[in-house]
């Protein structure tokens, strides 16, 4: 930037050629490899009938894997639990990506106020376009599955805006949901007018993507290891192409959230407070581990109703009493399924810690990921048992 002319910020991105190079490289590679056309094609080609009798993920990524329901399920029911994992998992990803598209734009607006951030904004434009292709593919597959198997929605939902609670199965209650929506609205205004807060959206995005990356890498392996790739079920191919795009998105989060801040002035107390609050919110969103779905931090009690419907559906055809009994065994009794989900939660805590540790403007609560780390098997079981007493099917 031209230093002889007055500038709002003493430094621009061009003053950090190493960071600039990384951004350019990441953008160039993502553009060259853009998976959106593949995903659009796959979504058009998808025909549920052609892949309804096979797994879509590695076996351990099945709904209720290693729970009593899984242990007692027939091979056909296990296939459905495996496909349901895909449907549930990517229904959550749709919600997260709707929010991402919006906050990419508001944060880009905040960062564009500093010299030389055009490259970041254009990277984010590309990413938002990719997210729309991702969402379209997930939505078409997940809705086709639910229509064919149930004739109604289980995990999917009608298209929605970015202010709705991102976690689709969260026990928030009306007041907390309203409060969260207000916080999101306030954050949009703050991030679009403040480069530091805008940049730190990417720290939050990075944390959220980090967990996604751990799971999605494993989901992509089903296609990677398929002996006849051209015959692999389309949902598994979607998982693979999506993971390729997301790896670039994660790099963007790392570079913008952690490195590009070098050209910004030191954060004020207010800015630090906003960023710390955001991360605390993210920790609260990721506090639970879910017995039903390993790798997504949904609240079990929020899933009782859907699980009951699943048990009563033609896939399991249970009677009312048997379904209630199974709900109890699934959620109120310790199982290997719970331990596996808790283990993934622990891995997430460790990787968030490693990611956040170098950021000196964060509170200890955030750097050490204390809120998430407070959860335990005892607390998990106590919450589920309490909620089950009030559950009415």
Residue written as tokens 């480069």?
195
> Is the CB of 97 or the CB of 149 nearer to Fe ion?
97
Nearest distance, CB of residue 36 and Fe ion, angstroms: 10
Distance CA 37, CA 44 (A): 11
Nearest distance, CB of residue 270 and Fe ion, angstroms: 29
Nearest distance, CB of residue 381 and Fe ion, angstroms: 34
Distance CA 200, CA 107 (A): 9
Taken in order 26, 28, 29, 34, is the CA torsion positive or negative? positive
Question: Does residue 134 touch Fe ion according to CB under 5 A?
Answer: yes
> Is the CB of 116 or the CB of 246 nearer to Fe ion?
246
> Is the CB of 97 or the CB of 146 nearer to Fe ion?
97
Distance CA 390, CA 387 (A): 5
Question: Does residue 249 touch Fe ion according to CB under 5 A?
Answer: yes
> Is the CB of 131 or the CB of 271 nearer to Fe ion?
131
* Binding letters toward Fe ion, positions 80-99, x by CB under 5 A: -----------------x--
Taking CB under 5 A as the binding criterion, the range among 124-132, 149-157, 273-281, 366-374 that sits at the site for Fe ion is 124-132
> Is the CB of 128 or the CB of 172 nearer to Fe ion?
128
> Is the CB of 98 or the CB of 263 nearer to Fe ion?
98
Number of chain residues interacting with Fe ion (CB under 5 A) = 5
Nearest distance, CB of residue 94 and Fe ion, angstroms: 9
Nearest distance, CB of residue 104 and Fe ion, angstroms: 9
Kindly give the residue spans of alpha helices, DSSP state H, lying in the chain: 17-33, 36-45, 48-51, 68-71, 75-111, 118-149, 173-192, 195-224, 234-254, 269-285, 300-312, 320-331, 336-356, 364-367, 370-373, 377-390
Pair 111, 198: CB distance under 8 Å: yes
Nearest distance, CB of residue 166 and Fe ion, angstroms: 13
Nearest distance, CB of residue 123 and Fe ion, angstroms: 11
Question: Which residues fall within 8 angstroms of residue 147, CB to CB, at 6 or more apart?
Answer: none
**Count of beta carbons in the 10 Å neighbourhood of residue 137:** 28
Question: Does residue 272 touch Fe ion according to CB under 5 A?
Answer: no
**Count of beta carbons in the 10 Å neighbourhood of residue 142:** 26
Distance CA 209, CA 315 (A): 33
> Is the CB of 246 or the CB of 271 nearer to Fe ion?
246
> Is the CB of 17 or the CB of 161 nearer to Fe ion?
161
Nearest distance, CB of residue 156 and Fe ion, angstroms: 16
Distance CA 393, CA 391 (A): 6
Supply angle C-alpha 383, 389, 393, rounded to 5: 115
Taking CB under 5 A as the binding criterion, the range among 223-231, 246-254, 362-370, 384-392 that sits at the site for Fe ion is 246-254
Chain contacts with Fe ion (rule: CB under 5 A): 97, 131, 134, 246, 249
């Amino acid at each position: 930037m031209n230093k002889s002319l007055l500038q709002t910020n003493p430094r621009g991105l061009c003053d950090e050629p190493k960071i600039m190079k990384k951004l350019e490289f990441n953008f160039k590679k993502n553009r060259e490899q853009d998976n959106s056309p593949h995903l659009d094609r796959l979504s058009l080609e998808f025909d549920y009938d052609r892949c309804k009798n096979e797994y879509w993920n590695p076996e351990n990524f099945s709904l209720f894997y290693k729970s009593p329901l899984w242990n007692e399920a027939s091979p056909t029911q296990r296939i459905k639990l495996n496909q349901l994992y895909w449907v549930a998992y990517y229904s959550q990803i749709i919600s997260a990506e709707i929010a991402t598209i919006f906050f990419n734009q508001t944060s880009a607006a905040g960062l564009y106020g500093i010299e030389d951030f055009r490259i970041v904004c254009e990277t984010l434009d590309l990413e938002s376009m990719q997210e729309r292709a991702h969402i379209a593919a997930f939505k078409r597959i997940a809705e086709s599955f639910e229509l064919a198997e149930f004739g109604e929605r289980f995990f999917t939902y009608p298209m929605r805006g970015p202010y709705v609670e991102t976690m689709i199965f969260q026990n928030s209650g009306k007041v907390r949901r309203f409060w969260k929506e207000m916080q999101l609205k306030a954050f949009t205004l703050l991030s679009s007018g403040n480069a530091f807060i805008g940049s730190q959206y990417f720290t939050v995005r990075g944390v959220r993507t980090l967990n996604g990356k751990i799971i999605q890498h494993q989901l992509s392996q089903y296609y990677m290891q398929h002996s006849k790739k051209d015959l692999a079920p389309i949902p598994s191919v979607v998982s693979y192409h999506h993971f390729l795009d997301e790896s670039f998105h994660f790099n963007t989060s790392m570079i913008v959230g952690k490195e590009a801040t070098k050209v910004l002035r030191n954060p004020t107390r207010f800015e630090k407070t906003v960023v710390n609050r955001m991360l605390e919110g993210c920790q609260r969103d990721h506090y639970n581990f879910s017995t039903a779905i390993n790798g997504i931090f949904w609240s079990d009690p929020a899933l009782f109703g859907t699980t009951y419907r699943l048990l009563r559906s033609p896939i399991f055809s249970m009677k009312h009493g048997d379904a209630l009994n199974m709900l109890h065994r699934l959620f109120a009794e310790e199982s290997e399924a719970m331990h596996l989900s808790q283990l993934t939660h622990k891995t997430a805590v460790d990787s968030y810690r490693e990611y956040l540790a170098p950021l000196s403007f964060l509170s200890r609560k955030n750097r050490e990921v204390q809120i998430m780390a407070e959860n335990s098997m005892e607390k998990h079981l106590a919450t589920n048992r309490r909620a089950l007493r009030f559950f009415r099917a």
